[in-house]
C-alpha cells in the first residue's frame, strides 16, 4: 500500500501553515535565534544543496507501512535542514526546531484533521559537516495513523 499523494500533500501544507509559528514561540521561550523555515518540499533531495534555508523535506516512507483492519500507520521522514553562520546557534537551533515539531504534534495529534493520530517515534541530530557551510540536519520519523479508506 502506498502513501497517497493527497495525504502527503496535506501533511506538507499543514506543516507550512503551522510549524513556523511554533518555531518562533519555542525559540523565543528558549532564548534561541532560529530563522523561519523558508522552504518546504515533498520528496527527497540532498538537504545540503537546497536553494534556501531553513528547509523541511517531507518524505513518505513507503517501505514501512503497517496496517490492520481499522487503520494504517504511515511513516514519514521529516528532514529539517538548518543553516546559520554560528556553530553554537545552529546547534541550539536544531534543538528548538525539534522541540517546536514535538510541541506541534503533542498539541494537535490529529494535525488539523488529516489523521487519527500523529506520533514521533525517533529523532536524530546531525551536526554540520565540513564544507556544508554550517548546515545541520534533524531527521524525525513521524507516524500518521489513518483510516484504511483514506490511504
- pLDDT(108) > 80: yes
Which comes out higher in pLDDT, residue 134 or 58?
Answer: 58
Cα 15 to Cα 54: distance, rounded to the nearest angstrom: 13
- pLDDT(39) > 50: yes
| 63-104 per-position pLDDT tens digit | 556 666 667 888 899 999 999 888 888 989 999 999 999 999
State whether the Cα torsion 20-26-29-34 is positive or negative: negative
- Mean pLDDT for 50-57 is 92
Look at the pTM and tell me if it is higher than 0.85: yes
pLDDT of residue 86: 86
For residue 115, give the CATH number of its domain.
Answer: 3.30.70
Region label for 102, one of left (φ > 0), alpha (ψ between -120 and 50) or beta (otherwise): alpha
| 113-149 per-position pLDDT tens digit | 999 999 999 999 998 866 657 899 999 999 998 876 6
pLDDT band at 151 (very low <50, low <70, confident <90, very high): low
Give me the domain span that covers residue 106.
5-147
pLDDT of residue 121: 94
Place of cell 513518505: 60
pLDDT of residue 1: 42
Q: How many domains does the chain have?
A: 1
Amino acid at each position: 500500500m502506498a502513501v497517497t499523494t493527497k495525504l502527503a500533500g496535506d501533511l506538507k501544507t499543514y506543516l507550512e501553515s503551522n510549524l513556523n509559528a511554533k518555531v518562533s514561540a519555542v525559540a523565543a521561550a528558549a532564548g534561541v535565534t532560529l530563522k523561519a523555515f523558508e522552504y518546504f518540499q515533498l520528496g527527497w533531495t540532498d538537504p545540503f544543496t537546497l536553494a534556501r534555508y531553513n528547509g523541511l523535506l517531507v518524505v513518505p516512507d513507503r517501505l514501512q507501512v503497517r496496517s490492520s483492519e481499522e487503520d494504517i500507520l504511515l511513516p514519514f521522514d521529516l528532514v529539517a535542514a538548518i543553516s546559520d553562520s554560528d556553530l553554537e546557534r545552529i546547534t541550539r537551533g536544531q534543538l528548538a526546531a525539534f522541540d517546536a515539531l514535538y510541541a506541534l504534534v503533542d498539541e494537535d495529534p490529529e494535525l488539523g484533521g488529516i489523521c487519527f493520530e500523529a506520533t514521533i517515534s525517533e529523532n536524530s541530530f546531525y551536526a554540520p559537516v565540513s564544507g556544508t557551510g554550517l548546515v545541520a540536519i534533524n531527521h524525525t520519523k513521524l507516524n500518521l495513523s489513518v483510516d484504511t479508506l483514506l490511504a
